[in-house]
Amino acid sequence: EPEVTQTPSHQVTQMGQEVILRCVPISNHLYFYWYRQILGQKVEFLVSFYNNEISEKSEIFDDQFSVERPDGSNFTLKIRSTKLEDSAMYFCASSTGQNQPQHFGDGTRLSIL
């Protein structure tokens, strides 16, 4: 079964540094998503992306965050200047359509020191 893959599995970064989390969605999927889960809290929606633009974003997704699909396969989440509170598990997901089930990757654990 095709899977969403995320790299790295664990990223440790100094506060204030930029970090890029990478995702390879399932190849025939058109909708892409990022979610995060702070330890002990709910999985929270960050952003959805379709047709090379953001289609929806949450209040969490402020100016420090950006997403990009730089080529035909990767989907990245960039945090420009990381804060301690950005420490979380970040999940990428993709789907074939807006009202179709989302398929999740294994996640990247981001630790900000």
Partner 1 sequence: AQSVSQHNHHVILSEAASLELGCNYSYGGTVNLFWYVQYPGQHLQLLLKYFSGDPLVKGIKGFEAEFIKSKFSFNLRKPSVQWSDTAEYFCAVRSYNTDKLIFGTGTRLQVFP
- List residues binding partner 1 (CB under 8 A): 3-4, 31, 33, 35, 41-45, 48, 55-56, 58, 91, 98-99, 101-107
C-beta of 55: minimal distance to partner 1 in Å?
A: 6
Q: Are 2 and 27 in contact (CB under 8 A)?
A: yes
**Residue 94 CB contacts under 8 Å (≥ 6 apart), including other chains:** 4, 25, 26, 29, 31, 32, 33, 75, 102, 103
**Residue 85 CB contacts under 8 Å (≥ 6 apart), including other chains:** 38, 112
C-beta of 102: minimal distance to partner 1 in Å?
A: 6
Q: Which two tokens mark 37?
A: 């889960």
C-beta of 16: minimal distance to partner 1 in Å?
A: 29
Q: Which two tokens mark 62?
A: 């402020």
Which one, 79 or 91, has the nearer CB to partner 1?
91
Q: Taking CA 90 as the corner, what is the angle to CA 89 and CA 93, rounded to the nearest 5 degrees?
A: 135
Which one, 58 or 66, has the nearer CB to partner 1?
58
Which one, 17 or 55, has the nearer CB to partner 1?
55
Which one, 44 or 64, has the nearer CB to partner 1?
44
C-beta of 35: minimal distance to partner 1 in Å?
A: 7
